[in-house]
Structure 1
């Protein structure tokens, strides 16, 4: 199986209105962002590398694992919240039903929406406004880690009652780190929870993706 190799991303220094380099992720230091920063989205091109990384991840997954690949509006429909500026949507469905599918939706922002399993979307960047001060390098790390955890079988989803319960996720790399989140099932689009309960594995843990073999048909 070929190893994933991050593509080379061009380095670029962005400056503020005074000509000083912006240190994204540490821009505001210990101070609160100014009020106007919450409605401002400057230097959006700093997120363009997410598209480059997404395409590299898609090609690595296609080459390395036994998956079916679908593109277009049907794939975009996997998202719980669909963007208005889709550039490309690619769904990768492993051959085993015990493995979580992944759908990559590249947006014109630029950014990437990643739908994992049945009930969760991950957004890169999560917001993109100047106040949130998201570091592009850290976003790429987080994006790649999230994909790797799903593919390696370190992804759990849980769901409660359609009439007012909770649904949750957990990504867990033993000895390294974890992330978890939850939301109310009543906020899910109609039919999503019912489909998820039929599809999700017992106990909620998705299995590791099967690797491609010479006999695998390919996507």
Structure 2
């Protein structure tokens, strides 16, 4: 996971007076993970193994029983914030910055988390690798009800080869998660 977590890259004002206001993100993520585990056929794995560099509390992975469905990983950081990975390349950090100037609303961030994870579970994630002048680029697109986002990252030669071996040269639409009976 690319480390684009709290307070990184905020050039205006990098001071966070009360980062504890984001602690509700941890509670909301735990509640959502419980709901998803109850609703869908997924395996839940918890570990202290980090998804990225930085002070992490723990990482939770939901791995759908269907290999055609995209996995979800959520890293809980000490800030407190969340760093999420959907499928292979789609990343989401909440808050994106966390500083006083950005003043991200925790309630809105919880809504954003729920919206994007619901889009993932419904099969709205597309990923592919394509070649460009500067090398290979991984593209990820997440589409949900009244929501659409896309991301691109440049891959190393080894990452590009691995992705192509795993079938990402053509666009891959991850399947919806299978609901529990």
TM bracket, shorter-chain basis: 0.7 to 0.9
Trace 1:2-81 onto structure 2 (pairs within 5 A).
38-74=13-49, 76=50, 79=51
- Structure 1 CA distance, aligned partners of 2:14 and 2:103? 12
Which residue of 2 is the match for residue 210 of structure 1? Answer: 178
- What is the count of residue pairs matched by the alignment? 169
1:137 paired to 2:102 = no
CA RMSD of aligned residues (A): 2.3
Determine if contact 1:66/1:212 at 8 Å carries over to the other structure.
yes
Residue 90 (structure 1) aligned to one of 46, 53, 60? 60
Residue 155 (structure 1) aligned to one of 125, 142, 147? 125
Flag the structure with larger Rg: 1
Determine if contact 1:45/1:110 at 8 Å carries over to the other structure.
yes
Residue 111 (structure 1) aligned to one of 67, 81, 84? 81
Larger proportion of strand:
2
Deviation at 1:191, TM superposition (A): 4.8
Detail structure 1 runs of 4+ shifted over 3 Å in the superposition.
Answer: 190-197, 199-202
Unaligned regions of 5+ residues in structure 2, if any?
1-10
Q: Secondary structure at the match of 1:39?
A: coil
Distance of aligned partners of 1:207 and 1:67 in 2 relative to their CA distance in 1, 3 Å threshold: same
Determine if contact 2:40/2:179 at 8 Å carries over to the other structure.
yes
Query: TM-score normalized by structure 1?
Result: 0.69
Determine if contact 1:119/1:193 at 8 Å carries over to the other structure.
no
Deviation at 1:141, TM superposition (A): 0.9
- Structure 2 CA distance, aligned partners of 1:47 and 1:193? 36
Deviation at 1:178, TM superposition (A): 1.1
Query: TM-score normalized by structure 2?
Result: 0.83
The one-character-per-residue Cα deviations of 1:158-183 (angstroms, maximum 9, x if unpaired) are 22249712212111125x12111212
